[in-house]
Chains A and B, each alone.
Chain A
């Protein structure tokens, strides 16, 4: 496994670049390489040399050679939903540029994505383009030499500048590689959404420190308002809260340290964060039966005034923009970044960020025709996403943002404040460890498991994985 110093911090320049839509690719990485990644790099250069022969004629300029190919795209969004709309639109637009191009769009439920990819990878039959998860899952595919080195592709087709440096940095951090192996399908910030009317009713100000946050919880509860909605049934909604507290008290690299063995998950600071979540649950801040509530219901509870706060990412704006679902109206919901404990450990300009699900290219099927498609995709994704959905996907864009809705503007403003970022709770965990962390968080919320035992179960899983 490749080790590199975690570059979770995005530089200020990157954050500016991300919004201004310029700025060169500046993936900084250092560290040592192990044998397995060397093997991957070696074989990927091989492919590169093979393809460069054939592309000698093609690469004369930026004009598409209109190569004939039908590519297969595996996605977790229906054609008329979310990223599914964008991918389909770009494919159809590309058909106009290259009439010989055709594509087949396949949809699987997101719960079944991993199973589908596992069965396809087992028979070396990964599709040309497929949606996958960043972090550990993709590392496995890289090590198995199943996916294409996208940095090579971007360089060859001269379109690397179209990827937001911040997105690139986030993705290479997650895949623990120098090169990019996946394309972003989102650039999201996370934090607390709150119901303004309920805050006003209880006389609560937007909290900026955890102490203020705690007293806000108490005040809301005393006013007869459920302070927090949380999708405990979807598990990650709860672990994000632990993560939020962990990062602010131990620093943005806390989870990485524990994953690398430089710290133990059972150390006091990690346990304290888990304890915090349990304390909130015990105080009834989440209402009853929080482990049976899914994220969607929790979100609706916020919008319909049944709960005052809800932790979620910027993708939540799509719900907020839906006037039939958002009872709070166009200005009823606000956003604040995760409260701070100590500015020197993790500051208020540091946000939890992710690139959502990502796109990978199956190596076995890759050829120049796919390369040209990728070039078109990368060059047009940013603008298409901004004009069609008013969303930021991790690509540069030139489209006008002034027509975006209030909630979209709100997210863009928050993103502009971001000077650095950190990842989610399970980002550095292998799938077994992450499953344990997610499943047992329900027991933690229920009180069936103490904070100490919860962190121990994660440490145990991590130890057994290392074996």
Chain B
């Protein structure tokens, strides 16, 4: 009996140590990023990269903010991301609903057609898209980015929402219809509230994708007043490959902070949303 108990305690300790290590591995980067953002340029070569910052070199933040023009970039990133997210959610729910619950010819084909897009590599579309935008005079507008964000976010979002909708019992809808709900009312009062978890999952995933986009904003936007945060990170590399590491990490820290805050605030909803059977296949 004692041996068994001892074994159990040993096992428990091992598990605890393992989980502790896991947490260290996950948390260390944020910590390192912040110390890195406070280092002077010479510290990078004089001391190992994992060493703590020797002082608080806040000039990196000043550099990042002034030269990186971060305030403007933040505004642009926020506008682009949120407008795109809004439409992605609307489209994902409506299309998802239409292809899973509604009866019409060709719905499977349309579903498959949207699903194909999960696989389209962004680079494939880059040059033709530039030509299309150029002809429509959309280069250097927020619209160009937002349209691309929405279109490239649709496939995965619809796929996710479809998974949720499949598990939505038909009885609920039937009851609503018997109570006299039309299709639009059904959508607004029944489906959308029930899709809360699915919508949160889509929002979270797409937010990270759009916020981190580099390739579209680099290609379509050249006006510095319209650039986004990620392009701002590029301001610290010069012609011959030199990098101002401190300023890079200062601006990375600044670009990550809003994500962290949003994540920590929404954390419960996000994890719940995702674990509540977000993806049902």
Contact = CB atoms under 8 A, between A and B. Distances in A.
Interface stretch (A107-115, A281-289, A452-460): A107-115
A253 interface: no
Interface string A291-320: 000111101110010100000110100010
Contact of A234 (B44, B224, B241): B241
Given A109-B234, A111-B237, A296-B241, A327 B42 contact: yes
Of listed A78, A105, A125, A319, residue having the most chain B CB within 10 A: A78
Contact of B41 (A82, A123, A324): A324
Contacts of B152: none
Chain A interface size range: 35 or more
Contacts of B224: 105-107
Interface string B153-165: 0000000000000
A110 B67 CA distance: 16
Of listed B44, B235, B237, B238, residue having the most chain A CB within 10 A: B238
A123 B131 contact: yes
A304 B45 contact: yes
A82 B241 contact: no
Nearest to B59: A324
Given A74-B222, A80-B67, A325 B239 contact: no
Interface of A is mostly: mixed
Interface in A67-125: 74, 76-78, 80-82, 104-112, 115-116, 119, 122-123, 125
A356 interface: yes
A294 to B, nearest CB: 5
B44 A297 contact: yes
Nearest to A325: B41
Given A119-B130, A122-B131, A295-B241, A325 B222 contact: no
B40 interface: yes
Contacts of A356: 239
Interface string B36-53: 000011101110000000
A333 B84 CA distance: 53
Contacts of A296: 241-243
Contacts of A122: 127, 130-131
B42 A325 contact: yes
Nearest to A118: B127
Contact of B241 (A119, A231, A301, A325): A231
Contacts of A81: 67, 238
Nearest to A319: B242
A240 to B, nearest CB: 11
Contacts of B40: 324
B122 to A, nearest CB: 13
A112 B239 CA distance: 11
A226 interface: no
A339 B235 CA distance: 37
Contacts of A301: 45
Contact of B46 (A76, A299, A304): A304
A110 B41 contact: no
A353 to B, nearest CB: 15
A462 interface: no
Contacts of A295: 240-242
A357 interface: yes
A110 to B, nearest CB: 5
Interface in B235-280: 235, 237-243
Contacts of B134: 123, 125
B93 to A, nearest CB: 35
A107 B235 contact: yes
Nearest to B135: A123
B42 A78 contact: no
Contacts of A123: 130-131, 134
B179 interface: no
Of listed B40, B223, B237, B240, residue having the most chain A CB within 10 A: B240
Nearest to A234: B241
B219 interface: yes
B48 to A, nearest CB: 12
A106 B238 contact: no
A112 B127 CA distance: 14
B183 interface: no
Of listed B219, B242, B243, residue having the most chain A CB within 10 A: B242
B79 interface: no
Given A119-B127, A123-B130, A304-B46, A112 B218 contact: yes
A109 B237 contact: yes
6 contacts: A108-B222, A112-B218, A125-B134, A304-B45, A324-B41, A325-B41
Interface of A: 74, 76-78, 80-82, 104-112, 115-116, 119, 122-123, 125, 231, 233-234, 294-297, 299-301, 304, 306, 312-313, 315, 319, 324-325, 327, 356-357
Interface of B: 40-42, 44-46, 67, 126-127, 130-131, 134, 218-219, 222-224, 234-235, 237-243
* The 5 A-B residue pairs with the shortest CB-CB distance in the complex, in nearest-first order: A296-B242, A109-B234, A300-B45, A234-B241, A123-B134
Given A234-B241, A304-B42, 14 more contacts: A78-B67, A78-B235, A81-B67, A81-B238, A82-B239, A107-B235, A123-B130, A123-B131, A123-B134, A233-B241, A294-B243, A300-B41, A300-B45, A327-B46
